[in-house]
Amino acid sequence: MYLIRKYLKWISTFFVLTGILLTNLNIYPINIFFHGFGVIGWTVAGFILKDRAILTNFGLQIPLFLIGFINLYAV
């Protein structure tokens, strides 16, 4: 559990920033996956740390990424 608490935010940050980079480079749909993994990691970190600001920010992004996944596979 200690390693998760220690590295989860950094790994999640890597995924979010990689997703943003891929979006700026217009590399789709892999950008959604990277950014989505980062958002899920940050949401878990917010839950573990009981940080409402992190939960609000990243937790509310999850439905947006679900819309992106649905649009990706519904076509």
Total domains in the fold of the chain: 1
Residue in 69, 7, 64 with CA at minimum distance from that of residue 33: 69
Cα→Cα distances 6→1, 11, 45, Å = 9, 10, 10
Look over the chain and give the mean of its residue pLDDT values, rounded to a whole number.
91
The range of the structural domain enclosing residue 61 comes to 2-74
pTM: 0.86
| List of residues 6+ apart from 44 with CB closer than 8 A | 8
pLDDT classification of 71: cutoffs 50, 70, 90: confident
For residue 1, is pLDDT > 70? no
Tens digit of each residue's pLDDT (9 = 90 or more) over 30-48: 998 999 999 999 999 999 9
Asked if 35 and 12 count as a contact pair (C-beta separation under 8 A), the reply is no
Residue in 44, 33, 25 with CA at minimum distance from that of residue 68: 33
